[in-house]
Chains A and B, each alone.
With several copies, the nearest count.
Chain A
Amino acid sequence: MSDRLRPRWHILVFLAPAVLVYTAVMIFPLFNTLRLSLFTEVEQERVFVGLQNFRTLFGDAIWSEQFWNALGNNFWFFFIHMVVQNPIGVILAAILSHPRLRFAHLYRSAIFIPTILSFVIVGFAWKLILSPIWGIAPSLLDAVGLKSLFAPWLGKEEYALTTLALISVWQFVGIPMMLIYAALLSIPEEILEAGECDGITGMSAFWKIKLPLILPSIGIISILTFVGNFNAFDLIYAAQGALAGPDFSTDILGTFLYRTFFGFQLQLGDPHMGSAIATAMFVIILIGVCIYLFGIQTRLRRYQF
């Protein structure tokens, strides 16, 4: 569409409701909170300290160690999602979107069910299944002769994070699946038919026709995964508690933030340090999103159907 110079009130009208609600109920409170990162509390008084909190966060060994540990864990968490969740989601969507597949909606709903479960249930169910005591996983593995592979995964530092990431993958695969599915649906049938006549079917139809056409959606799920993972919190909290055991091996930025901001057990909430962590997280995510928005999204070609 062309640029026109005359005033375009409709743009304002389209944007206004969202911007108003969002600014008032979301941005304002959030930034009001982030502002706290520049303050600290001394003798029940709020004092402006500039970047002191950040200096503590990155300079103080105790804080920075936790922060980098959480950040590193977070990247691993994200990595697992990227290499496991999204490909599985895309594969499932690709299979499901096959126009003549029977029971597709049944499969689709079934696969989506984990996504609608609450974290309490997910945490409970998986702890029960993986529990070395109640024996679902051990006996299942036993049944296929792999009992020796069993370990109390959630309790071992080396496995816990990966296990949780995989549980999270299990839970959220529905999201990339549905998004990609929606994107695949919008590819005009005729283009695929033309491909079929050209001998491009099955896998090659996916790689050569569908994939390029859904790339923007893949971009979206990547960035959503990124944002979602760096904000993740509930699952770990439900499964491992706010201390993200064992020995902080499952601590990610979300749990670190929560613990600091709201406090935990005897640890009192510290909104100031908490905000500093939130700000740091925000900056990390913002950088990621900007890389996506300006570096990738603008380069992705979109096709109109």
Chain B
Amino acid sequence: MTALKLSNVCKSFGKTEVLRNIDLEVDEGEFVVFVGPSGCGKSTLLRVIAGLEDATEGSVEIGGEMVNQVPPAKRGIAMVFQSYALYPHLTVEGNMALGLKQEGQPRAVIEERVAKASHMLSLEDYLKRRPSELSGGQRQRVAIGRAIVREPKLFLFDEPLSNLDAALRMKTRIEIASLHKALDASMIYVTHDQTEAMTLADKIVVLRDGAVEQIGAPMELYNNPANRFVAGFLGAPSMNFLPAETLGGAAGHTIGIRPENLRIAEDGQISGTVAHVERLGGDTHLLVRTPAGDEVTVRIFGQSQIQRDAEVTLAYDPAEAYVFDADGARV
């Protein structure tokens, strides 16, 4: 069954068009990740789904029922706000428990769920604090906790892990994934983190300027981007785009090669000078400048000893390269 169905959803703030004709179906139990550049309308879309904003046009269905007129409280959702929106007068515990109390859950259930969530989010030590006494990451975790204790059928997460450190982020990500499994709830998740998007999603929705660019399973999008935008947006560092001519392709076309698909090799198709080396520890990124002036990023596994200003030749497997036409569409 469809947990959520958006048909032709549009939203404008005055003259600013923020969402354009969004169509989307989310199956029950599905985990959908929204990605897209900053300001493309992800949060707005979540707010429309939650019922906090009216769609200017189009319909929103939750659980098969048209909910355009249904208030947020009755939509059976929980949401993590990008700006947290914690209740400033309540402690961490109170923030998490308020929704449950409102539902009239028995105390034991409330306590148990709050305890579980705060354990999961490593918030046990802070239960009695108020939001103003918490660090940024702790606040964010409270916001997550407040949403998950409610165990609704549809979760809306707006960049819930952006202020957490890597370890905690991984831990929480895994917790969310298992929660997803345990509750069999549908989740809609906005993130800028590639790892989160790739690992959590059943389906990724790529948005751009308020419109859907492509929808698909993570690896499908990664390997079969519909257009240059999607190709460039997924993957970090992002795909290199070179004029096809320089590599013997058609004029006007662009060839896209992912940084990890470039190797330093004697007989490479591309040659250039190393303009910059970024050593990340586990990876090394080289920025290679071709004589034509293009810049190409190369990702090398592990710690490369290569130095700046070295002359290199780069090879790639044409099978792993993508070709886009002048409009950016995949050829």
State if A and B touch, Cβ cutoff 8 Å: yes
- Interface positions of A (Cβ within 8 A of B): 1-6, 188, 190-191, 193-201, 204, 208-209, 212-213, 301, 303-305
B88 to chain A, nearest CB (A): 4
Contacts of A196 in B (CB 8 A): 51-52, 71-73
Interface residue count on the B side (C-beta < 8 Å): 27
Contacts of B89 in A (CB 8 A): 209, 212-213, 301, 303
8 additional contacts (CB under 8 A) given A4-B54, A194-B87: A188-B85, A194-B86, A198-B150, A199-B99, A199-B102, A204-B102, A301-B89, A303-B132
In the complex the two chains form, what is the Cα distance from A4 to B87 in whole Å?
25
Whether A190 and B81, one on each chain, are in contact in the complex, defined by CB atoms closer than 8 angstroms, is yes
Q: List 28 A-B contacts (CB under 8 A).
A: A1-B52, A2-B51, A2-B52, A2-B53, A6-B69, A190-B85, A191-B85, A191-B87, A191-B88, A193-B52, A194-B87, A194-B146, A195-B87, A196-B51, A197-B52, A197-B72, A197-B73, A197-B77, A198-B78, A199-B99, A199-B103, A200-B102, A201-B73, A212-B90, A213-B88, A213-B89, A303-B89, A305-B88
Contacts of B18 in A (CB 8 A): none
In the complex the two chains form, what is the Cα distance from A6 to B53 in whole Å?
15
Q: Knowing A4-B69, A5-B69, A190-B81 touch, does A198 contact B52 (C-beta < 8 A)?
A: no
In the complex the two chains form, what is the Cα distance from A38 to B54 in whole Å?
50
Contacts of B50 in A (CB 8 A): 197
In the complex the two chains form, what is the Cα distance from A228 to B146 in whole Å?
43
Whether B99 and A198, one on each chain, are in contact in the complex, defined by CB atoms closer than 8 angstroms, is yes
Q: In the complex, which residues 113-157 of chain B have their Cβ closer than 8 Å to any Cβ of chain A?
A: 132, 146, 150
Is B190 at the interface (CB under 8 A from chain A)?
A: no
Q: What residue in chain B is nearest A197 (Cβ atoms)?
A: B79
In the complex the two chains form, what is the Cα distance from A3 to B99 in whole Å?
24
Whether B71 and A193, one on each chain, are in contact in the complex, defined by CB atoms closer than 8 angstroms, is no
Q: What residue in chain A is nearest B149 (Cβ atoms)?
A: A198
Q: What residue in chain B is nearest A192 (Cβ atoms)?
A: B85
In the complex the two chains form, what is the Cα distance from A201 to B90 in whole Å?
17
Q: In the complex, which residues 58-74 of chain B have their Cβ closer than 8 Å to any Cβ of chain A?
A: 69, 71-73
A109 to chain B, nearest CB (A): 25
Most buried by A among B77, B88, B102, B150: B88
Q: In the complex, which residues 143-178 of chain B have their Cβ closer than 8 Å to any Cβ of chain A?
A: 146, 150
Is B98 at the interface (CB under 8 A from chain A)?
A: yes
In the complex the two chains form, what is the Cα distance from A212 to B95 in whole Å?
13
Whether B81 and A4, one on each chain, are in contact in the complex, defined by CB atoms closer than 8 angstroms, is no
Contacts of B146 in A (CB 8 A): 194, 198
Q: Knowing A197-B79, A198-B99 touch, does A303 contact B88 (C-beta < 8 A)?
A: yes
Contacts of A301 in B (CB 8 A): 89
Contacts of A303 in B (CB 8 A): 88-89, 132
Whether A208 and B88, one on each chain, are in contact in the complex, defined by CB atoms closer than 8 angstroms, is no
In the complex the two chains form, what is the Cα distance from A197 to B78 in whole Å?
6
Is B223 at the interface (CB under 8 A from chain A)?
A: no
A16 to chain B, nearest CB (A): 20
Contacts of A213 in B (CB 8 A): 88-89
Contacts of B81 in A (CB 8 A): 190, 193-194
Is B303 at the interface (CB under 8 A from chain A)?
A: no
B86 to chain A, nearest CB (A): 8
Is B307 at the interface (CB under 8 A from chain A)?
A: no
B135 to chain A, nearest CB (A): 14
In the complex the two chains form, what is the Cα distance from A299 to B258 in whole Å?
53
A5 to chain B, nearest CB (A): 6
In the complex the two chains form, what is the Cα distance from A243 to B78 in whole Å?
64
Contacts of B224 in A (CB 8 A): none
Is B83 at the interface (CB under 8 A from chain A)?
A: yes
Contacts of A2 in B (CB 8 A): 51-54
Contacts of A304 in B (CB 8 A): 88, 132
Contacts of A195 in B (CB 8 A): 87, 98
In the complex the two chains form, what is the Cα distance from A213 to B86 in whole Å?
13
Most buried by B among A196, A198, A213: A198
In the complex the two chains form, what is the Cα distance from A301 to B52 in whole Å?
21
Q: What residue in chain B is nearest A211 (Cβ atoms)?
A: B89
Q: Knowing A190-B85, A191-B88, A193-B72 touch, does A208 contact B52 (C-beta < 8 A)?
A: no
Please provide the 9 A-B residue pairs with the shortest distance between their CB atoms, ordered closest to farther. Answer: A198-B99, A194-B85, A190-B85, A303-B88, A2-B54, A212-B89, A199-B73, A196-B72, A197-B79
Contacts of A204 in B (CB 8 A): 102
In the complex the two chains form, what is the Cα distance from A4 to B77 in whole Å?
19
Contacts of B53 in A (CB 8 A): 2
In the complex the two chains form, what is the Cα distance from A195 to B54 in whole Å?
17
Contacts of B83 in A (CB 8 A): 190
Whether B85 and A193, one on each chain, are in contact in the complex, defined by CB atoms closer than 8 angstroms, is yes
Contacts of A199 in B (CB 8 A): 73, 99, 102-103
B251 to chain A, nearest CB (A): 50
B67 to chain A, nearest CB (A): 11
Whether B69 and A200, one on each chain, are in contact in the complex, defined by CB atoms closer than 8 angstroms, is no
In the complex the two chains form, what is the Cα distance from A199 to B73 in whole Å?
4
Contacts of B90 in A (CB 8 A): 212
Whether B54 and A198, one on each chain, are in contact in the complex, defined by CB atoms closer than 8 angstroms, is no
Whether B98 and A198, one on each chain, are in contact in the complex, defined by CB atoms closer than 8 angstroms, is yes
Contacts of B102 in A (CB 8 A): 198-200, 204, 208
Contacts of B71 in A (CB 8 A): 4, 6, 196, 201
In the complex the two chains form, what is the Cα distance from A212 to B50 in whole Å?
25
B85 to chain A, nearest CB (A): 4
Give per-residue flags for B229-254: 1 if the beta carbon is below 8 A from chain A beta carbons, else 0: 00000000000000000000000000
Whether A209 and B52, one on each chain, are in contact in the complex, defined by CB atoms closer than 8 angstroms, is no
In the complex the two chains form, what is the Cα distance from A4 to B72 in whole Å?
11
